[in-house]
Structure 1
Amino acid sequence: MPGLPIRAAIASDGAFLADMTVEAATWRAGAVRPRHEVLSSSDHRRYVAGWMRPGDAGFVAESPSGEPVGAAWYRMFPRDEPGFGWIGTGVPELIIGVRPLWRAHGAGRALLQRLDDHARSQGFARISLSVERDNYAVSLYRSEGFAVVRRGIGRDVMAKRLR
């Protein structure tokens, strides 16, 4: 649905970003993994713990009625505690999640573009993400200029040049 309102994420969006982390981790149709199980894993918790720490930035898409339906945000991770999509110091790692009902309606693309523009305006030269190879979002990422920079077992790290 074109024209969904998108706003900057704020500190109180932490719980919603946690929900979107769960969506990102359980993207397959029929995948069921309890929220607490996903978020109790340090691999996933790192993307939302202490949300709005220095260097964090993100955006939230809302339905016409004002309900949050998706989010894209980035975080900086140190070399000794990398995220799934870490490619180097000073490169923000992107996380994106959209509620299933709102997928394939342009919310993810709009969020991705807004976050990329913001990262560029903050002086970042690249942004990265991690995606499972069979995730349908791979085609979205490719169409937005992301390319595989590291292959893993069933999962790839992709990056985009921002300048």
Structure 2
Amino acid sequence: MSTRLRIVELAKGTAADISAVEQVMESAFDPRFGEAWNRSQLLGILGMPGVWLTLARVDGHVAGFALSRAIVDEAELLLLATAPAYRRRGVGSALVRSILTDARERGVVRVHLEVRAGNAAVDLYRSNGFAKCGERRGYYRGKAGEVYDAHSYSVALS
């Protein structure tokens, strides 16, 4: 059984951190689902207004990241990944809590996310107050053409 890490350092990420983000995605996202973004997509969205990248470091290593965007009074958690060696040790929870805090500070009243049906991260999101609010049948396409439903979740910030 894994133990919770003592220190997860959270910091704002920039375009200079994209290689580390790509490494986490490569290890964290199962390639059969095609969920990882490419460098061009990451760099493109990072330059947009309201977008922020949060890095989680443990002992100086990037253990996870979250990419979010706020528009007016709503935000969306676009991507979140934890490197497999750091899963179930508090990194994902620290990232989600950080995103919710950052969103509040930006004047956001509700945060949304979308996740592939069957993704184990749903437990993380639910434990941080997210509730299912929608479903898109056949939304995601896997690398071999498989079809997966998307589930939408949101949480109201008080």
Match of 2:17 in 1: 13
**Secondary structure class of the residue paired with 2:31:** coil
Does 1:32 find its partner at 2:31?
yes
CA shift digits 1:85-126 (9 cap, x unpaired) = xxxx75221021111111111100001101110100110011
Letter in 1 for 2:114: S
Structure-1 separation of matches of 2:83 and 2:116 = 18
Share of identical aligned residues, percent?
26
Letter in 2 for 1:3: I
- Out of 75, 83, 93, which is 1:99 matched to? 83
- Out of 49, 54, 57, which is 2:49 matched to? 54
The two structures have a TM-score, normalised by structure 2, of: 0.75
The two structures have a TM-score, normalised by structure 1, of: 0.73
Does 1:74 find its partner at 2:68?
yes
- 5+ residue gaps, structure 1, are 78-88
**Secondary structure class of the residue paired with 1:120:** helix
- 5+ residue gaps, structure 2, are 138-148
Q: How well do the aligned residues superpose, as a CA RMSD in angstroms? A: 2.9
Structure-2 separation of matches of 1:107 and 1:116 = 14
Contact 1:126–1:162 under 8 Å retained in 2: yes
Match of 1:124 in 2: 108
Structure 1 residues 90 and 45, CA, compared in 2 at 3 Å: closer, same or farther? Answer: farther
Structure-1 separation of matches of 2:135 and 2:36 = 23
**Secondary structure class of the residue paired with 1:116:** helix
Structure-1 separation of matches of 2:40 and 2:112 = 18
